[in-house]
Chain A
Amino acid sequence: MQKNNILNVLHETLLAEHGSALEMLAACKKSKKATHVFGYFEHAKDEYIHTKAFRELLSKRTRLLSSSIARKYRFNSLGLIKKGYVARQGFLIETMKVKDFIAYVYTNELLAKESFNKILMLIESFPEDCQVITDIMNDELRHHGLAKEHFLRYYPSLQPWQLRLYKFRETINNKTRKLYHKNLKFLEKIFLPLYSIFSVVISILFNYLNLHQFNRLDSNLMDISPKSML
């Protein structure tokens, strides 16, 4: 149980780190100012390095497991969107105001550091791995500091309490997100029998669907109506 928990956490963190690498790269490409481009680039680079570190921590553990378990933790970039680490609507920089984006980075780096503390506890019996995580935590703190600096330079009218408010808001958001997913899982369990009945009904209906309707044998494919979805 404990072992699976570690694997889950490492897998999810790996995706989260890759997600932030892409977020930062997107911000880098969208910036017009050379210094910002440089800053975001360096941040993206760090996040790519974190991704790689987590990939190694994960493979070290899954390599020795039976393949049926290990397969669940296989890395697939499409998981980034499927699991919401990159929003379907686009990267944050594409959907947020720059100011909110930086505030988001500021608070999330701090929250990331906190969640790494939990990972440290999970792997405390592996000193080498703990060092890897500690290094990453230092990076995240540095990112947090840089975002703060940036924030205060470009939005000087903002007071520290407003930044704390951003953090508070993000913490609540994270908690609700977790709660939402927990509830979703619970609801799924409740609704499963209902879904199953529904799928049986659908399959009965599908008996009436004749696949020959889709046959295009001997027809000119260029003549099929372009407006038809069938």
Chain B
Amino acid sequence: MFIGISAYNHESAVSLVDKEGNLIDYCKEESLSRIKGDRSFPRRSIDRILKNNNIQAINIERIIFYEKPLSAYLIPLKIASMYIPQSNSFIIHQLRNFNKASISCFIDLAKYFPGNEQKLSYIDHHLAHTLTALTYSNIQKNICSIVVDGFGDRSTASISYIKDMHNIKEIWSSEYPHSLGLFYSAITDFLGFNINEGEYKVMGLSAYGNKDSRYAKIIGKLINWDDCSNKIKLDLEYFSFYKSIIDSYSKNLIYLLGEPRNPFKPLLPKDDDFQKYADIARGAQDITIKILIKIFEHAYKITNSNIFLFSGGVALNSASLDSLAKLDFVEEIIVPPSPGDSGAAIGTGMYGYLQSTNNKTNITTPSLYPSKYSASEQSDQIEKLLSNKFRLITMNKEESLLITSKLIQKGEIIGTIISNSETGPRALGNRSLICNGLNKESVERLNTVIKNRSPFRPTAPAMKLGIAKKYYCLEDALITSYYSMTATCMCKENSISRDFPVTHVDGSARIQIVKEGSILDQLLDLMSPKGIEILANSSINLSGDPTCFDLIDGIMVCSLSPLEYLLTDLGLYQKIIK
């Protein structure tokens, strides 16, 4: 058995891979600690995974960490040292927080799982991303991998050629601090959203922006692709992340764009400054797509491959994929369900498997729901909680689904906590809030009353492949991405789908094509004859909290919000309103 760890920079996660290259279990630390974006050493996740799968730590052959910690530590220090004295506090902070950086993985492992620290090895960070994407790809030879993130352990973007699983050669890279990911994060910060959390909001907001506006044009000049050197060039004058621990952008950006947005002020389309901030978001989104196109073109030029793996935090930018798929040389783009750093724990675990053998290369595509859980593990514990707060409608599985489908038809919203959980960040039915996707009032209630989301962020629609083809312009190159909700697409021209409440203001939608046999698929089977072919689907959580993991989390959401129904492994429940 092999354990892959991702930690210290973004949400920590752990994967368990067996000797045959199967992903056995996966767990994000935030799911257990309930601290959104928890980046601490994932000891709860390791513990859970070992216990869940009846594994003694001694049977773990190797533990792999998802980056080269010394490079990840030294490179930002080296760059900061070039900006003394402005970078003084940055350097002091780095030096003093040595023990909180990824270098301490060895120490933490020794502390919490003594004796296992000797099994620790390290993998190149972008290789971890590449192997994650490769795990989800049907073709595993002679393809190109593109990784774009904030900063890994050496570079901020890279292109590799995968001859086979044991021969992955890096052929291009972009060096820190010239980073597309950190540029997008700095704009996220300027717009008043939290870094590593609010990037989705910027993407949603950009749909309201005008691409020809003054602000969009200004933003478009801050980062570019240099055609002579084939490199990403960030205008460092306007950013501070490489020399400051507090500020991601510099005073120059404020001179250029005016006041950054006050994070506490609601952002509503009718407000005075809404357009300005939407235009800034639009500029950031457009230039991101433009640079990604340049990277893809360059990748094609140097690898001649038509099939691309695409991962790293920037691959979470689902709105950019549609434009990339339209490039005439692109045949297929494979984006893993969780392309960011937490998902990279999966490729990291796979590395252990690949290193253990030189001939076996049969990695099996993991399930979209790899985090093992069953409500039966908590059923005794929560007996009183359930009986006190809920009325059991039915324990029978078929009946649960049937009644759920009827409730949805009536306009109700249903929360689901069903068996294994998704990789994240998208909920695909097992940890979801669902309602009729064409019922405007239900979708609005789900979005604003239950989730307390900003009204400019759309809710995603889930449907069967046939229905998706009827209403949306699907890209063949992205078919697998639609199953994990990693890509957006546009409504067909003059289609009624433009007016669906799950369609964004610009006519785009982040659709989910439901997998056969999945819970959403079964519900759609029951509802299609009644004319409901599209469900609205959002993750089940309260605003600012991680997606629910277990039934207690689900009960908490019901207790703190107007959500009334919970569909679980134990049956369908209705909240008792006192």
Residues of A within 8 A of B (CB): 22, 25-26, 28-29, 31-32, 34-35, 37-38, 41, 44-45, 48-49, 58-59, 62-63, 65-68, 70-71, 73-78, 80-81, 86, 88, 90-91, 195-196, 198-200, 202-204, 206-207, 209, 211, 214-222, 224, 226-230
Contact = CB atoms under 8 A, between A and B. Distances in A.
Given A38-B384, A67-B262, A229-B70, A203 B81 contact: yes
B78 A77 contact: no
A78 B35 contact: yes
Contacts of B87: 203
Give me the 7 closest cross-chain CB pairs, A-B, nearest first: A203-B81, A226-B121, A229-B70, A206-B81, A34-B384, A67-B262, A199-B91
Interface stretch (B163-171, B313-321, B410-418): B163-171
A226 B92 contact: no
Contacts of A49: 560
Given A74-B264, A222-B355, 17 more contacts: A26-B34, A49-B560, A66-B259, A67-B263, A78-B38, A78-B39, A90-B44, A196-B85, A199-B91, A203-B81, A209-B78, A214-B75, A216-B154, A217-B173, A220-B168, A222-B165, A229-B68
Nearest to B74: A209
B194 A76 contact: yes
Nearest to A28: B552
Nearest to A224: B124
Given A37-B382, A211-B75, A222 B95 contact: no
Highest count of chain A CB atoms <10 Å: which of B43, B70, B122, B355: B122
Contacts of A34: 380-385
Given A62-B262, A77-B36, A37 B560 contact: no
18 contacts: A34-B380, A34-B381, A41-B385, A41-B555, A45-B560, A49-B560, A67-B262, A74-B263, A81-B35, A90-B44, A206-B81, A215-B173, A218-B169, A218-B171, A219-B169, A221-B130, A226-B121, A227-B121
B88 A196 contact: yes
B568 interface: no
A227 B69 CA distance: 11
Contacts of B69: 229
B556 to A, nearest CB: 7
Nearest to A75: B544
B81 A77 contact: no
B170 A216 contact: yes
B301 interface: no
A175 B203 CA distance: 46
B381 A25 contact: no
A200 B84 contact: yes
B507 interface: no
Given A25-B556, A35-B384, A221 B124 contact: yes
Contacts of B43: 90
B124 A216 contact: yes
A74 B198 CA distance: 13
A158 B543 CA distance: 42
B354 to A, nearest CB: 7
Contacts of A224: 124, 127
B524 to A, nearest CB: 33
Highest count of chain A CB atoms <10 Å: which of B38, B80, B262, B264: B264
B361 to A, nearest CB: 11
B368 to A, nearest CB: 25
Contacts of A77: 35-38, 544
B388 interface: yes
B12 to A, nearest CB: 12
B175 A38 contact: no
Contacts of B71: 214, 229-230
A28 to B, nearest CB: 6
B123 interface: yes
Highest count of chain A CB atoms <10 Å: which of B64, B260, B262, B383: B262
Contacts of B448: none
Interface in B17-72: 33-40, 43-44, 64, 68-71
B533 interface: no
Interface in B136-175: 154, 160, 165-173, 175
Contacts of B91: 199, 202-203
B77 interface: yes
Interface in B551-578: 552, 555-556, 559-560
B270 interface: no
Contact of B559 (A45, A74, A207): A45
Given A34-B382, A88-B40, A29 B262 contact: no
Contact of A29 (B264, B265, B550, B559): B550
Nearest to A58: B264
Contacts of B81: 202-204, 206-207
B261 interface: yes
Contacts of B124: 216, 221, 224
Contacts of B40: 81, 88
A74 B92 contact: no
Nearest to B102: A229
A37 B384 contact: yes
Contacts of A218: 169-171
Nearest to A21: B34
Interface in B93-142: 95, 103, 121-124, 126-127, 130
A76 B38 CA distance: 11
Given A220-B167, A221-B170, A226-B122, A62 B264 contact: yes
A224 B153 CA distance: 14
Contacts of B355: 222, 226
A86 B30 CA distance: 13
Given A209-B78, A222-B354, A195 B169 contact: no
Contact of A198 (B68, B95, B194, B381): B95
Contacts of A230: 68, 70-71
Contacts of B154: 214-216
Contacts of B70: 229-230
B425 interface: no
A209 B80 CA distance: 13
Contacts of A229: 68-71, 103, 122
A222 B168 contact: yes
Contacts of A22: 33-35
Contacts of A199: 84, 88, 91-92, 95
A7 to B, nearest CB: 11
Contacts of A66: 259, 262
B251 to A, nearest CB: 10
B370 interface: no
Given A41-B385, A44-B556, A211-B75, A67 B192 contact: yes
Nearest to B67: A229
A80 to B, nearest CB: 6
A74 B259 contact: no
A77 to B, nearest CB: 4
Contact of B261 (A67, A76, A221, A226): A67
Contacts of B166: 222
B551 to A, nearest CB: 10
Contact of A226 (B85, B123, B175, B264): B123
A198 B123 CA distance: 32
